[in-house]
């Protein structure tokens, strides 16, 4: 048995119902159990009509179009069968052992390959292709893929796929028409015209003719009638998945589809599917709605090995049929893939660069097989020549590490994938980029070590794609580095701290001892918001509230906190008591000030201030001293209003006094 050679394969957008194929007038037609379906042809051109698929699911009618489903109608009955007549849908409801259609009782219902037959005592109804055919009630009936037989006394009426009715003056099931005549079944006997040719105690179906062979199904067994004798093929089949023409016998079941040539030699074994054929090609529809074309006249290998060895200069290369998918029993990394003619060319590398025997599985929706292939691979090679420089009290310049891994890494890695090498010392890692299959890398990697021995272990790992694999361990000597004698002193100001450093530097490591002293640096600057202050030779705009301003000056760094005050005195509260003007400045914080009123002055911190009232003065001046800044603010008084208020108060008081003597 050989593998099928596909010349076409595509996924169809179809609803989840049963489909089968027919081959007629050199065209492959798609049929289904749908209540309504668009016109569909799959070969020689793929044509799926724009209409909707309308089908039954449970007790609902579903509409399917462009991959989307929509419920059109749901019955109130759980056990119901829908039928279509023209543009209307009707319900056949099961009630106990009988069926109800439009109020009429029927005792039998058969649904088979897109047709529904109702049989009652009064009449029989056949629903197909949106039509209803009414006939008188038969004594018996039988439904096959292409014919419906209604048996009457002394007569059989046969209804074909186009609903044409033909009468035969004999009783029995009409199975089909052969080149030698009509085939009937009566009881368990099969007749070719009037001659008994065989027996079948189960369901019988005529599949077709192959040269001098007539092919039947008896239940699920395929039987061949030729030269007035019978042979049986050991393959189970169903009528809806089987097909016969002069060149091919196709026997399909729910488990698989077997294809035979005209001499009944097995050719292909396919996954469960509906298959029809012309003289050379097979047309198949899978259970997952893939449509494929197999050309039996083409001989093409499904898989070939171009190169079975992986090295630094060449990769494992295989070519497999482009209508198949591929998988491997052991990890192989795909380096590249391209399509050329009828093949996909794939370059591979073993994940761990091992020699391996690999099972390669090839599959598509119709066929699968596997092959065992042997591959070999060169191993990655790495070497490291170097040392670890270590100073317990020092630091690698520009880092906080006390050791430095330094050396040369040489590598040769048989891969073309983006690759890196990881060097690990304990839980510390250096990742190095590998640009070619062969080369050297200068390694300079700071480390942090605690009391190392004379040697440390440096582990090398290969990073390839998402995978990491171990390469090799290197034992690297540790070299103790002592500080030089020469010391450089360096003083730095760090705001309120003065820092004195004693530095030693050998070009690789630095050693530093640091002492700190207080530095009584004035860092608080107070100013009026919106104005500028000069700090370290730069003009800084004062903003309301606190802001931090830092400057670098050589090795020094200074920071100032600038407090911006919008108005030192927020407001002035003024009241009049007796002959005194009481003044109370309201501020955010306490600072010294001078308060001037007429010929009087107050000096001190904000407080409640009493001035002798003098209506000839209407201004209070406050001079605030904030840091080194002096801010002057003037507050105007309504002096005439104040004087009139005082005169009114005095007159009221005088009237009260005179009244006490009886003079007012």
Residues of the chain with CATH 2.60.40.10: 303-377
Examine the pLDDT at 562 and tell me if it is beyond 90: no
- Give 303-377's CATH code, choosing from 3.10.20.70, 3.40.640.10, 2.60.40.10, 3.30.70.20: 2.60.40.10
Predicted confidence at residue 373, as pLDDT, reads 93
Query: 583 near 609, Cβ under 8 Å?
Result: yes
Collapsed DSSP state (helix, strand, coil) of residue 410: strand
CA angle 251, 255, 258 (to 5 degrees): 30
The pLDDT-based confidence of 662 (bands split at 50, 70, 90) is low
Predicted confidence at residue 546, as pLDDT, reads 85
How large is the average pLDDT for residues 191-205? Answer: 95
How much of the chain exceeds pLDDT 90, in percent? 74
Examine the pLDDT at 640 and tell me if it is beyond 50: no
* pLDDT per residue as tens digits for the range 516-528: 888 777 788 887 7
Cβ-based burial of 388 (10 A; exposed 0-12, middle 13-18, buried ≥19) = buried
Predicted confidence at residue 449, as pLDDT, reads 94
Query: 110 near 117, Cβ under 8 Å?
Result: yes
Q: Which of 580, 573, 574 is nearest to 646 (CA)?
A: 580
Predicted confidence at residue 591, as pLDDT, reads 87
Q: Looking at 90-94, 236-240, 645-649, which range is the least confident one? A: 645-649
Query: 547 near 535, Cβ under 8 Å?
Result: no
Predicted confidence at residue 646, as pLDDT, reads 57
The pLDDT-based confidence of 649 (bands split at 50, 70, 90) is low
**227: alpha, beta or left, given left = phi > 0 and alpha = psi -120 to 50?**
left
Residues of the chain with CATH 2.60.40.3530: 571-639
The pLDDT-based confidence of 664 (bands split at 50, 70, 90) is low
Predicted confidence at residue 396, as pLDDT, reads 96
* pLDDT per residue as tens digits for the range 137-176: 999 999 999 999 999 999 999 999 999 999 999 999 999 9
Predicted confidence at residue 260, as pLDDT, reads 96
* pLDDT per residue as tens digits for the range 365-424: 999 999 999 999 999 999 999 999 999 999 999 999 999 999 999 999 999 888 899 999
Predicted confidence at residue 653, as pLDDT, reads 65
Examine the pLDDT at 643 and tell me if it is beyond 60: no
Q: What are phi and psi of 639, to 5 degrees?
A: -65, -45
CB atoms within 10 A of CB 514: 11
Query: 320 near 343, Cβ under 8 Å?
Result: yes
Which comes out higher in pLDDT, residue 521 or 471?
A: 471
**164: alpha, beta or left, given left = phi > 0 and alpha = psi -120 to 50?**
beta
Examine the pLDDT at 628 and tell me if it is beyond 80: no
Predicted confidence at residue 650, as pLDDT, reads 61
For the CA atoms of the chain, what is the radius of gyration? 51
The pLDDT-based confidence of 544 (bands split at 50, 70, 90) is confident
The pLDDT-based confidence of 663 (bands split at 50, 70, 90) is low
* pLDDT per residue as tens digits for the range 295-353: 999 999 999 999 999 998 899 999 999 999 999 998 888 999 999 999 999 999 998 89
User: What's the rounded Cα separation, in Å, for the pair 367 and 324?
Assistant: 9
Mean pLDDT of the chain: 91
Q: Which of 611, 602, 609, 607 is nearest to 587 (CA)?
A: 607
User: What's the rounded Cα separation, in Å, for the pair 612 and 598?
Assistant: 9
Indicate the class that CATH gives domain 571-639.
mainly beta
Q: Looking at 205-209, 379-383, 642-646, which range is the least confident one? A: 642-646
Q: What is the 8-class DSSP label of residue 300?
A: -
135: Cβ contacts below 8 Å, ≥ 6 apart: 123, 124, 125, 126, 150, 157, 165
Domain 384-480 belongs to what architecture? Sandwich (2.60)
User: What's the rounded Cα separation, in Å, for the pair 424 and 515?
Assistant: 36
Q: Which of 323, 325, 310 is nearest to 360 (CA)?
A: 325
Whether this model's pTM surpasses 0.75: no
* pLDDT per residue as tens digits for the range 8-36: 999 999 999 999 999 999 999 999 999 99
Q: Which of 464, 433, 435, 431 is nearest to 445 (CA)?
A: 431
343-381 burial string, b = 16+ CB within 10 Å, else e?
bbbbbbbbbbbeebebebebebbbbeeeeeeebebbebe
Structure tokens at 553: 């000056």
Q: For the CA atoms of 228, 234, 239, 240, what is the dihedral angle to 10 degrees?
A: -150
The stretches of 64-176 forming alpha helices (DSSP H) are none
Which helix (H) or strand (E) covers residue 660, if one does? helix 639-660
Predicted confidence at residue 57, as pLDDT, reads 97
How large is the average pLDDT for residues 634-647? Answer: 64
User: What's the rounded Cα separation, in Å, for the pair 363 and 369?
Assistant: 7
Cβ-based burial of 96 (10 A; exposed 0-12, middle 13-18, buried ≥19) = exposed
Cβ-based burial of 320 (10 A; exposed 0-12, middle 13-18, buried ≥19) = buried
User: What's the rounded Cα separation, in Å, for the pair 197 and 251?
Assistant: 22
Predicted confidence at residue 355, as pLDDT, reads 92
Query: 332 near 33, Cβ under 8 Å?
Result: no
439-445, long-range: CB < 8 A, 24+ apart:
439/410, 439/411, 440/408, 440/409, 440/410, 440/411, 441/408, 441/409, 441/411, 442/407, 442/408, 443/384, 443/386, 443/405, 443/406, 443/407, 443/408, 443/409, 444/404, 444/405, 444/406, 445/404, 445/405, 445/406
Predicted confidence at residue 330, as pLDDT, reads 87
Examine the pLDDT at 434 and tell me if it is beyond 70: yes
Examine the pLDDT at 638 and tell me if it is beyond 90: no
* pLDDT per residue as tens digits for the range 240-289: 999 999 999 999 999 999 999 999 999 999 999 999 999 999 999 999 99
Structure tokens at 176: 């089909």
44 prior amide bond cis, ω within 30: yes
Predicted confidence at residue 644, as pLDDT, reads 43
Query: 64 near 75, Cβ under 8 Å?
Result: no
Q: Which of 304, 341, 292 is nearest to 4 (CA)?
A: 292
DSSP assignment of 223-283 equals EEEETTEEEEEEEE--GGG-EE-SS-EEEE-SS-EEEE-TT--EEEEESSEEEEE-SSEEE
Q: How do 40-43 and 27-32 pair as beta strands?
A: antiparallel
């Amino acid at each position: 048995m050989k593998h099928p050679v596909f010349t076409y394969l595509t996924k169809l957008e179809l609803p989840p119902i049963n489909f089968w194929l027919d081959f007629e007038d050199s065209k492959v037609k798609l049929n289904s159990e749908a209540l309504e379906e668009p016109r569909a042809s799959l070969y020689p051109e793929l044509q799926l009509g724009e209409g909707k698929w309308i089908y039954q699911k449970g007790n609902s009618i579903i509409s399917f179009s462009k991959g989307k489903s929509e419920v059109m109608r749901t019955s109130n009955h759980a056990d119901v069968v829908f039928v279509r007549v023209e543009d209307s849908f009707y319900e056949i409801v099961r009630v106990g052992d009988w069926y109800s259609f439009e109020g009429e009782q029927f005792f039998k219902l058969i649904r088979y390959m897109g047709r529904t037959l109702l049989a009652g005592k009064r009449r029989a109804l056949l629903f197909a292709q949106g039509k209803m055919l009414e006939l008188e009630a038969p004594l018996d009936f039988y439904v096959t893929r292409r014919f419906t037989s209604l048996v009457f006394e002394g007569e059989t009426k046969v209804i074909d796929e186009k609903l044409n009715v033909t009468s035969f003056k004999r009783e029995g099931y009409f199975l089909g028409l052969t080149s030698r005549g009509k085939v009937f079944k009566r009881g368990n006997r099969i007749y070719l015209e009037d001659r008994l040719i065989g027996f079948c105690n189960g369901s019988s179906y005529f599949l077709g003719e192959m040269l001098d062979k007539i092919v039947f199904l008896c239940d699920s067994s395929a039987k061949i009638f030729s030269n007035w004798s019978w042979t049986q093929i050991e393959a189970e089949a169903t009528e809806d998945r089987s097909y016969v023409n002069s060149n091919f016998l196709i026997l399909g079941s729910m488990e698989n589809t077997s294809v035979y040539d005209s001499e009944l030699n097995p050719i292909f074994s396919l996954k469960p599917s509906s298959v029809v054929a012309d003289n050379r090609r097979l047309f198949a529809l899978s259970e997952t709605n893939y449509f494929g074309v197999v050309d039996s006249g083409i001989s093409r290998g499904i898989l070939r090995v171009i190169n079975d060895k992986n090295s630094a200069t060449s990769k494992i290369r295989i070519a497999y049929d482009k209508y198949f998918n591929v998988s491997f029993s052991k990890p192989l990394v795909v380096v590249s893939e391209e399509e050329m003619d009828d093949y996909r060319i794939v370059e591979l590398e073993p994940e761990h660069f091992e020699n391996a025997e690999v099972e390669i599985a090839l599959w598509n929706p119709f066929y699968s097989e596997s092959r065992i292939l042997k591959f070999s691979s060169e191993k990655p090679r790495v070497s490291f020549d170097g040392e670890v420089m270590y100073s317990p009290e020092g630091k690698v310049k520009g880092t906080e590490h006390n050791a430095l891994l330094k050396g040369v890494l040489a590598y040769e890695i048989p891969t073309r994938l983006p690759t890196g090498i990881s060097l690990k010392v304990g839980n510390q890692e250096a990742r190095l980029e590998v640009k070619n299959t062969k080369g050297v890398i200068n390694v300079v990697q700071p480390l942090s070590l605690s009391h190392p021995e004379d040697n440390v272990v440096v582990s090398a790992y290969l990073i390839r794609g998402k995978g990491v694999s171990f390469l090799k361990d290197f034992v690297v000597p540790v070299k103790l580095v002592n500080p030089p004698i020469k010391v450089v002193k360096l003083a730095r100001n760090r705001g309120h701290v003065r820092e004195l450093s004693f530095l030693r530097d050998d070009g690789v490591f630095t050693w530093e001892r640091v002492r700190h002293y207080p530095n009584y640096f004035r860092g608080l600057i107070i100013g009026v918001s919106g104005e500028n202050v000069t700090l370290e030779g730069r003009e800084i705009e004062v903003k309301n509230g606190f802001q931090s301003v830092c400057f670098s000056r050589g090795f020094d760094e200074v920071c100032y906190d600038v407090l911006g005050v919008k108005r030192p005195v927020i407001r002035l509260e003024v009241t009049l008591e007796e002959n005194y003007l009481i003044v109370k400045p309201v501020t955010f914080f306490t600072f010294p000030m001078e308060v001037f009123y007429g010929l009087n002055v107050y000096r001190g911190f904000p407080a409640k201030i009493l001035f002798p009232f003098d209506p000839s003065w209407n201004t209070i001046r406050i001079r605030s001293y904030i840091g080194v800044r002096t801010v002057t603010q003037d507050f105007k008084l309504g002096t005439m209003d104040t004087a009139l208020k005082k005169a009114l108060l005095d007159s009221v008081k005088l009237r009260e006094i005179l009244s006490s003597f009886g003079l007012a």
